[in-house]
C-alpha cells in the first residue's frame, strides 16, 4: 500500500507531488492545532489559503506535465493512442492530489468554523 502511494507520488512528478504532500500534512497539523485554540480565525484563514495553493499547484503540475508530454509527442512523431492516454493519466495525478488536498482543507475549515460558532454561542 505505502509502496503504491510512493510510486504514484513519483509517477506524478516528485517536484509537484511531494510539495502537495507537504501542504496536506501542514493542513492536517493546522486543523488539529485549531481544535485547541480559542481564536480560530487565523488558523481557518491559513488552512484555507494553503488548500487553495495546493489546488493551484496541482493544476500547474498538470499543465507542466501536459506541455512536456506534447513536446515528447512532437519529438517522437507518430505514437500510439495507449501511450498518449498513459501520458495524460500521469499528468492528471497532480491535479487529483491537489483537489484531494483542497477538499481536506475545505472540510477542515467547515469543521473549525462550526466549532468556533458553537464556542461563541
Domain that holds residue 53: 2-120
Q: Which set of grid coordinates corresponds to residue 107?
A: 472540510
Into how many domains does the chain fold? Answer: 1
Model pLDDT for residues 3-37, shown as the tens digit of each residue: 888 888 888 888 999 999 999 999 999 999 999 98
Q: How far is Cα 109 from Cα 107, in angstroms, rounded to an integer?
A: 5
CA angle 79, 92, 81 (to 5 degrees): 20
* 31, 50, 59, 119 from 26: Cα distances, Å: 9, 8, 19, 24
Nearest to 106 by CA among 49, 57, 59: 49
Question: Whole-prediction pTM value?
Answer: 0.88
Model pLDDT for residues 53-97, shown as the tens digit of each residue: 999 999 999 999 888 888 888 888 888 888 788 778 888 999 999
Amino acid at each position: 500500500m505505502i509502496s503504491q502511494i510512493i510510486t504514484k507520488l513519483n509517477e506524478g512528478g516528485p517536484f509537484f507531488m511531494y510539495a502537495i504532500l507537504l501542504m496536506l500534512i501542514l493542513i492536517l497539523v493546522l486543523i488539529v492545532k485549531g481544535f485547541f485554540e480559542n481564536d480560530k480565525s487565523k488558523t481557518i484563514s491559513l488552512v484555507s489559503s494553503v488548500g487553495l495553493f495546493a489546488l493551484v499547484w496541482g493544476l500547474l503540475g498538470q499543465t507542466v506535465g501536459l506541455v512536456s508530454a506534447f513536446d515528447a509527442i512532437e519529438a517522437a512523431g507518430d505514437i500510439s493512442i495507449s501511450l498518449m492516454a498513459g501520458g495524460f493519466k500521469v499528468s492528471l495525478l497532480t491535479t487529483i492530489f491537489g483537489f484531494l488536498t483542497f477538499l481536506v482543507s475545505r472540510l477542515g475549515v467547515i469543521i473549525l468554523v462550526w466549532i468556533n460558532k458553537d464556542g461563541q454561542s
